[in-house]
Amino acid sequence: MPLLEPKPGSLRPRSISGPAPDRLPGHRAGGTPEPLRTELTGLLGPEKVLWKVSDLVRYASDASPYRFVPQVVVVAEDIDDVSAVLSYAHGRQREVVFRAAGTSLNGQAQGEDILVDVRRHWAGIEVLEEGRRARIRPGTTVARANAALARHGRILGPDPASAVACTLGGVVANNASGMTAGTTRNSYRTLSSLTFVLPGGTVVDTADPLADEELSRAEPALCHGLMEIKREIEADPALVARIRAKYEIKNTTGYRLDAYLDGTTPVEILRGLMVGSEGTLGFISEVVFDTLPLDREVCSALLFFPSLPAAAAAVPLFNEAGAVAVELMDGNTLRASVSVAGVPADWADLPRETTALLVEFRAPDEAGRDARAERAARLLDGLDLVAPAASVTNSFTCDPKTVGGYWQARKAFVTAVGGARARGTTLITEDFAVPPSRLAEACEALLSLQAEHGFDAAVAGHAAHGNLHFMLAFDAADPADVERYGAFMEAFCRLTVERFDGSLKAEHSTGRNMAPFLELEWGPAAAALMWRTKRLVDPEGVLAPRILLDRDPRAHLRGLKTIPQVEAVVDACIECGFCEPTCPSGDLTTTPRQRIVLRREMLRQQPGSPVLDGLLASYGYDAVDTCAADSTCKLACPVGIDTGALMKDFRHRRHGPREEAAAALAARRFGAAESAARLAVAAADRIPSGAGDRLLAAVTGAARKAVRPDLVPQWPARIPGAAARHLPPTRRVGAAAVYYPACVNRIFGGPEGRPGPSLPEAVVAVSERAGRPVWIPGDVGGTCCATIWNSKGYEAGTRVMANRIVEAAWGWTAGGLLPLVVDASSCTLGIAREVVPYLTPENRALHAELRILDSTVWAAEELLPRLEVRRRVGSAVLHPTCSMRHLGDEDRLRAVAEACAEEVVVPDDAGCCAFAGDRGMLHPELTASATAREAAEVTARSFDAHLSANRMCEVGMDRATGRTYYSALLELERATRP
């Protein structure tokens, strides 16, 4: 690649919509003020204190419509750090807010002073008692915990739709429940014990038999006060009845007052109060759940009704029949969901009133499942169902793929509706609950109220439990629109409480949006007890003020964030955070959500703003350079927002015409570059005792300093040796496929110290052995999948190579008659999909005729059925690549591995290695961070084989684990060798 300096200022927004009313003021451009920055740095160490303006801004948004910029961000590693921060805050009138995944919908993860990140270092699960219980750290996602429990046939009770992103600390702190939890499987009901840190620094483990004794010594006033409130409540029969009645339906408004009734000691009361306390009473450092059986046999139906009230009226029938979930989606939700992968396009034309119910029955075995399905099917005859679209079937199915598609649409509803909102508007997501018997009535009332205030909201939710969600969009920069929203919320709250005696917050917890209405729902006496509880536990008001309790009647209108229009590829983002767990750079610099959040803040500013200059100064490295551009964020995002594509576009913007011309020239002369690269690797191999690596590392290190680090790769240790000068001989006549060895496998050889054939030799041999011989064209040299240009944003070079490879492949495969088998998954993805936008119209037509297969697909589908496995290793661990995730080929890698090994393991923390071509050499810190959790899982035990399907990913995993990774096809060749 050309070693030229990018154009300065190229990342500056081309048009700025600011100044926005909620822009960060100029005096904040310096980041964390003194002495706060120096004092916390001295207390915790510089690596744990994030103080730059870009750090503060990227932590200022969560999945809610609110935005508050902290003064400082602390990345806490352990309880000692948390205690140190709390001790520091005491006596200094400072405030502390804890943030994990930031998926809360009402601003619970935002603070205006000290914000403590308790996600990065707080993941982990210990399965206990064969899965019947689980000890979980608060930064662990629900999906990650359930993956570990599934091996034991168990599952957690709470099942929020954001399970892939939300963490257990937040789930407990908000008492989140989800589709099936209802009032019996939520955190409050299924927690065995908690460990938490009180505002004064006292650590309480509720499972410790001596916990009450120790708490009474450490916090005597607290213990006395809790028991006094308990006695007062129990002495008031009307209040006791009111509290019990409020929790007969889902309710997360305010503190959990039934903790005073259910707990008999101060520790037991605190255990209950912590659930749903939103970080206002303490920090939850560990949870132990009682798990539930995982009923694997499922049957589901997506049933369509002519109206929302008609669908709601059918809900009790399915509840009585034993449905584990009855999920409602109104017409707006259904139509918006067409942006979700797999949702039928004809949903976009559904009548406005159409409403669907997703009904699911579960059982531990097929007999139970079939009995439930039969009983449910009989109910359909008496229902007023409609089939307004060709894709509507209105029948039950047990097909896992179909059922998975139903749930994908349902779980994506917030993001899908948010993505369909008018550009530049802010999204509000609210949830409430009414007695299930009054759900139809509540639906009609909600629709009428929305129309009265000029909103056309989307409605969905957990109908089985009388719990509905609705979404509204308005312009937070328009005071009149904010007032319209405020008037609606006032009317909605009064309707819910006065007409239905419902819960203003059913499962999202109180948050900033409902804090002013808490007394409306609970009444003065109960609300006063909640205020007393807060003052008792947190007398100095250190923890999360104004998030759960706030007497300001307009508090819910404070801090509403504007949504400036940014680049179209990411403009639909609602900042939900679903993308973050999959991001390779999340623990190093920024996540996809944060990249977008930072960009939006740039657009809020005005030209010449010092805040804008500060953000731009950091954005190059934090956002653009350290993005792996693997686009796994697109897979995680329910509506497919590809932040990686935006970062590649930003890389392109940093190139001037000279750089683009040089890159195009390099593409045209790639044959010479390929030969030179192989010779350089071979030369390094010939220098003894690692001196070659050291020499090349010194040369590239000097070049990085002289030119620019992002343009010169750093020569890494453990780089593979050189490939053979010549590819194995093959014949075109009789070939079943054209085999395309990727350029990386033409430059680099196989794993050091592992005897046997090279990868090209193995592919040729095993294909011949299966009676499906392959042919390697003689002119593959000098061709490439174009990914090395595309990932760096060199559009001219990408265009040159993209058209060259497609034209060559067309000729090699006789116009698509034979499949093209590619032996590196990233190259398969590149040729199959990523080259398409760069092709001429003529070559795009040629490309459409090609059949491009990854070598693992070729092996699993064409070779395995024809091969005899003669030997197997005991165990193999797999690293599925991000390209395989895009291609949907992960199951083929597993199939090949299972043919070669008695035991096959895919780590629960497997993700993108972030080597990303040469990015792991440009920024080795990126790969080190991205692979840390997977490497810890891999190195915790021994395996006989470490398998993947991409040479540079294998190098990345070699470096991360100290183990030797290699292609699964090499192991297949060994396993089937005569």
Give 204's strand partners: 196
Q: What is the mean pLDDT of residues 478-494?
A: 97
Determine the Cα–Cα distance for residues 512 and 112; give it in Å rounded to an integer: 13
When pLDDT is cut at 50, 70 and 90, the band that residue 825 belongs to is very high
Give 155's strand partners: 292
Identify whether the C-beta of residue 461 lies closer than 8 Å to the C-beta of residue 468: yes
Per-residue model confidence (pLDDT) at position 720: 81
Strands (E), 202-251: 203-205
Of 59-73, 339-353, 948-962, the one with minimum mean pLDDT is 339-353
Cα 674 to its chain centre, rounded Å, is 37
Sheet-wide strand order for 945-948: 901-905, 873-878, 945-948, 965-967
Per-residue model confidence (pLDDT) at position 2: 35
Using a pLDDT cut of 90, give the percent of the chain over it.
80
Residue 453 in tokens: 């205030």
Of 11-15, 539-543, 579-583, the one with minimum mean pLDDT is 11-15
How buried is residue 666: exposed, middle or buried, by Cβ count under 10 Å (0-12/13-18/19+)? buried
Determine the Cα–Cα distance for residues 733 and 800; give it in Å rounded to an integer: 30
Using a pLDDT cut of 70, give the percent of the chain over it.
96
Per-residue model confidence (pLDDT) at position 457: 82
Residue 907 in tokens: 């780590």
Identify whether the C-beta of residue 915 lies closer than 8 Å to the C-beta of residue 956: yes
Determine the Cα–Cα distance for residues 645 and 238; give it in Å rounded to an integer: 60
When mean pLDDT is compared over 310-324, 325-339, 887-901, the highest value belongs to 887-901
Write down all domains in the chain, each with its CATH number in brackets.
298-507 (3.40.462.10), 564-637 (no CATH), 671-861 (no CATH), 870-976 (3.40.50)
Q: What is the mean pLDDT of residues 136-146?
A: 98
Closest Cα to residue 182, out of 460, 436, 501? 436
Peptide linkage before 773 cis (omega within 30 of 0):
no
Q: What is the DSSP string of 2-71?
A: ---PPPTTTTS-SS-----TTPPPGGGTT-SPTTHHHHHHHHH-GGGEE-SHHHHHHTSB-SSSBB---S
Of 394-398, 485-489, 954-958, the one with minimum mean pLDDT is 394-398
Query: CA triplet 835, 836, 841: central angle to 5 degrees?
Result: 125
If you search the block for the tokens 């404070």, which residue do you land on? 558
Terminal Cα distance for the chain, rounded = 44
Give 136's strand partners: 125, 287
Give 293's strand partners: 154
Mapped onto helix, strand or coil, the DSSP state of residue 124 is coil
**How far, in Å, are 315, 391, 587, 832, 886 from residue 303 at the CA level?**
11, 11, 42, 37, 31
Cα 520 to its chain centre, rounded Å, is 36
Q: What is the mean pLDDT of residues 502-531?
A: 97
Q: What is the mean pLDDT of residues 368-397?
A: 88
Residue 971 in tokens: 């192991």
What does the mean pLDDT of the chain come to?
Answer: 93
Closest Cα to residue 66, out of 664, 558, 751? 558
Per-residue pLDDT reduced to its tens digit, 308-317: 889 998 999 9
Closest Cα to residue 960, out of 934, 940, 921, 923? 934
Identify whether the C-beta of residue 690 lies closer than 8 Å to the C-beta of residue 726: no
Determine the Cα–Cα distance for residues 467 and 496; give it in Å rounded to an integer: 12
Taken in order 549, 553, 556, 558, the sign of the CA dihedral is negative
Determine the Cα–Cα distance for residues 13 and 9; give it in Å rounded to an integer: 9
The 10 Å CB-count burial string (b at 16+, else e) for 291-324 is bbebbebbbbbbbbbebbbbbbbbbbbbbeeebb
Residue 772 in tokens: 């499906």
Per-residue model confidence (pLDDT) at position 232: 98
Identify whether the C-beta of residue 175 lies closer than 8 Å to the C-beta of residue 507: yes
Determine the Cα–Cα distance for residues 94 and 572; give it in Å rounded to an integer: 36
Per-residue model confidence (pLDDT) at position 4: 41
Hey, what amino acid is at 438?
A: R
Helices and strands (DSSP H and E) totals, the chain: 43, 26
DSSP state of 162: T
Identify whether the C-beta of residue 958 lies closer than 8 Å to the C-beta of residue 872: no
Hey, what amino acid is at 183?
A: T
Identify whether the C-beta of residue 205 lies closer than 8 Å to the C-beta of residue 211: yes
Per-residue pLDDT reduced to its tens digit, 684-730: 767 765 565 566 666 666 655 554 455 556 666 667 888 998 999 99
